[in-house]
Structure formats: C-alpha cells, structure tokens
Amino acid sequence: MKRNFTKVLVVVLAFALLFLAGCGSSSQGSATQTQTQVKDVTIGVLYPTSGDQAVLGQAALNAVKLAADDINAAGGIKSLGGAKIKLDIVDPGSATESARSATENIIKDKPSALTGDYLSALSMVTSEVAERAKIPFVTASVSDALSSRGYKYFFQVSPKSSMFGATQIEFAKKVLVDQKGMAPKAAIVFENTSYGQSTSKGLVDAAKKMGFDVVLNESYDANFTDANPLVTKIKASGATILFPVSYLQDAILIQKAIKQQNVKIFTIGGGAGYLMPDFYNALGKDGEGVISVASWNNDVNKPGVDDIAKRYQAKYGSLLTEHSGEAYSATWAIAKAIDLAKSADPQKIRDSLATLKLDAGYPGDIMPGGQLEFDSTGWNKSVHPVMIQWQDGIPRTIYPDQDAKTQVKLDF
C-alpha cells in the first residue's frame, strides 16, 4: 500500500512539474511577445506655438496632427503590428535658448524621432541636441548650413535656401524682364538671421549671374516695428523688382510701407511670411498680385495634394500652405522609415531614413520634384522650389511649368 502511494505521488509530482514547466514556457513566451509588440511609436514635435512665429508654428503643427491621424487611420505602422503614431508635442518658443531647453526636455521622454521647428535658427539648435542624443530629426527648415555640418541624424525635406534665390531670379528674368520689359534692377532686403543671410546670398549670386544690377543689398533686424526707413532706401535705389526675405510681421510692414510711400516696384518674396494667409488678410487688395518663392504649395502637381488640402481646411479652417505641407510630408517620411526599420529604435530609424525613397503616389511624397530621397548630407535631393502668386486671396502655383496650375497675372 505504501509502495503504491509512493508511485502515485511520483506520478502526481511529475505531472505537476510538467504543468509548471509548461506554464513557465508559456509565461516566458508571453513576455517575449510583449517585448516585441509595440503599442505606439512616439515622435517628438517641436513647432513654435508662442512668440513671434506662433501662427506659422501652429499651422505646421496642425499638419503634423493630420498626418498622424492619416497614418493611424491607414493601419499605423504595419511592420509593428499596426502600432500607432503618438505625438509628444513641445513648444520651442521663438528663441534659440528656449528651443534648446525644449529639445533636451523632449528627448528625456525617449522619442523614436523628432520633427519640427521650421525656423532655421531653431533647427540649428534642435539638430545639435538631437545629433548628440543620436535621435533622427526631420525638418523643413531651409538653411544651407543645416546640411553642411556632416550630421548623421539630420534630414531636410525642403529645398535649400540658396535654391530659392536662383528660382526667384530665373522667374524674374524670364517673365518680368524678358516678357514684360522691366529693367533688371534688383533691391534685396533680408532679415539678419541664418535664414535671411543664406537666402539673400543665393539671390545676389543668381542676380549677378543673370545680368541683374543689384542696386540695394540691405540687411535689417528681424521683428522691427517700422519698415519706413528700409522702404525709403528701397525707393531711393531706383530698383524695379524687390526681393525681400522676411517672416510674417516684417513682410506685412514692408508691403504696407511700399503702398504708403507709393513705391512703384514689383515684389517677389523669399517665402516664409509672404506665404501665410495672414499676410494677405492683413493687406487685402494690397496683397493681390504679390509673388513669392515657396518650398511647397497646396496645388502642386502631386497625387493626393488636393485631398489633403481640402481635409486640412475643413478641419482647421485655414489654407494648407507651404509650412503645413512640408510638415505633413516630414511626418509621413518618419512613419515610412519606422515601417521599413520594423523597429521603434532611433538608430534603426535613422538608418532607414538614410536609404529612404518615397515614390510618387505614396501619401507623404507631396514635395515638388521626383521621389523623396535623402543624400549623404540628409537633404532631399529631388526637391525644388516653386513660385506662387496671390490671386483672389489664394496662393496659386505659377512656376515652373511642370508644377504650375495657373498663369501669372501682371496687371497689378
């Protein structure tokens, strides 16, 4: 009887050990599965929603939110089991000191990638912090200096600022000088920042190359309160075409002063403030016909742009302008890189961005040019600027021909 009891006990213990081993194996498997599954992937977003550039920053931030919603609605990051994009939003303000602090704080949350800033001065700081932390940063800032530092974690979806000047001068020569017969006398005024300096240099170089007489090349302190002294210099120069490089408030003040002083000059803006709906709203009919270079516009000849623009306007009650379009594209580029990397790890995402190619038709490939593809410096080598003109309160793409949706109007 004792022997039989012992046998039964041994059998029971054996089954118990097998059961526990199975549970241990199952538990270990569940732990492994939990580790490999990713519920969401965090992207740090830094656009100024306070300070001088709050209007611009909020417009771009809205586009990032729309892009994240679109990505998640389309199934999220499919290679990670449908993981959702989660946005960690921090306001960098409008100063380099606050941008540095904001970037350092957002990195503490361990995002997989960063995007934002738009202002080149802020992006210079954010990219430095991101490079040290080895977190990829995708931006639409345009300064040439950003992609000239040999950084490995920096990516730039937009055209470079030096390209803006060449496009502006090329357009002015072809349309205003050759077709309309204007004298090639250029006044170039620019804010004394990284964005202003690099863009104006491209303007001066292109103007001289194409036979323009640069009669004024003048910097000014950004965010001034009175544009009249600057416009007095523009008027005295005898220029026929003005090439200003300014953010929103400066752009409005310069154009108002031009009208007040009755300066007969044709304005071709350097992007930034000249592209915002607030520019036209503040000027009304005095903004009609103003032309500007742009990294992007909401009617560029790319698949899906019209739909994105309509949904953005329906959701936020505003036009999808250059700043927003680039932000939308940058967010999709990050999402695609995460999908290709099959990981939320910043290093693997960085490596994926370095070899990324978004062909026409992909939702994030809405920048002018061919496919979105970064070169060894992190710059989108396929992109080029376009020219827009304010017509009936809408920025219309007028140049180059492959991107244009309407003709330029010169009867202003």
Same domain, 289 and 185: yes
Reduce the DSSP state of residue 76 to 3 states and report it: coil
Same domain, 258 and 391: yes
Torsion of CA 167, 171, 177, 181, to 10 degrees: -170
**What pLDDT was estimated at residue 194?**
74
Higher-pLDDT residue of 332 and 412 is 332
Tokens of 255: 């154009």
Residue 29: which residues within 8 A CB-CB, separation 6 or more?
none
Same domain, 51 and 129: yes
- What mean pLDDT comes out for the span 341-370? 92
Same domain, 137 and 45: yes
Percent pLDDT > 90 in the chain is 71
**What pLDDT was estimated at residue 6?**
44
The 10 Å CB-count burial string (b at 16+, else e) for 217-230 is: bebbebebeebeeb
38, 80 Cβ separation under 8 angstroms: yes
Higher-pLDDT residue of 143 and 92 is 92
With 60 as the cut, is the pLDDT of residue 35 above it?
no
Residue 255: which residues within 8 A CB-CB, separation 6 or more?
267, 279, 283, 286, 287, 290
Q: Which of 350-354, 373-377, 401-405 has the lowest mean pLDDT?
A: 401-405
Cα–Cα nearest to 257, from 234, 281, 238: 234
pLDDT tens-digit map of 17-31: 434 444 443 333 333
Same domain, 328 and 286: no
pLDDT tens-digit map of 272-309: 889 988 999 999 989 999 999 999 999 988 889 999 99
69, 62 Cβ separation under 8 angstroms: no
Same domain, 152 and 187: no
Query: Domain of 243: which CATH number?
Result: 3.40.50.2300
Q: Quote the number of domains for the chain.
A: 2
**What pLDDT was estimated at residue 23?**
44
Residue 331 to residue 45: CA distance in whole angstroms: 10
The mean pLDDT of the chain is 89
353, 368 Cβ separation under 8 angstroms: no
pLDDT tens-digit map of 196-208: 887 888 899 999 9
pLDDT tens-digit map of 78-119: 999 999 999 999 999 989 999 999 999 999 999 999 999 988
Concatenated DSSP letters of 146-195: GGGS--SSEEE-SPPHHHHHHHHHHHIIIIIITTT----EEEEEEESSHH
412 located within any domain: no
Q: Residue 400: is the preceding peptide bond cis (ω within 30°)?
A: yes
Reduce the DSSP state of residue 119 to 3 states and report it: coil
Same domain, 144 and 207: no
Q: How far is CA 122 from CA 103, 142, 153, 325, 360, in A?
A: 10, 11, 16, 19, 30
Residue 189 to residue 232: CA distance in whole angstroms: 12
Residue 356 to residue 365: CA distance in whole angstroms: 11
151, 378 Cβ separation under 8 angstroms: yes
Same domain, 284 and 394: yes
**What pLDDT was estimated at residue 374?**
97
**What pLDDT was estimated at residue 30?**
31
Residue 354 to residue 377: CA distance in whole angstroms: 9
Cα–Cα nearest to 95, from 196, 219, 220, 223: 223
Q: Which domain holds residue 75?
A: 40-159+300-381
Same domain, 168 and 146: no
In single-letter form, the type of residue at position 90 comes to V
With 70 as the cut, is the pLDDT of residue 2 above it?
no
Strand partners, 140: none
52: confidence class by pLDDT, cuts 50, 70, 90: confident
237, 215 Cβ separation under 8 angstroms: yes
Q: How far is CA 401 from CA 176, 295, 301, in A?
A: 16, 15, 10
With 80 as the cut, is the pLDDT of residue 139 above it?
yes
Same domain, 133 and 181: no
Residue 190: which residues within 8 A CB-CB, separation 6 or more?
196, 197, 199, 200, 203, 218, 219, 220, 244, 245, 246, 270
372, 382 Cβ separation under 8 angstroms: yes
**What pLDDT was estimated at residue 161?**
83
Same domain, 177 and 276: yes
Same domain, 243 and 346: no
Q: 0.85 exceeded by the pTM?
A: no
32 located within any domain: no
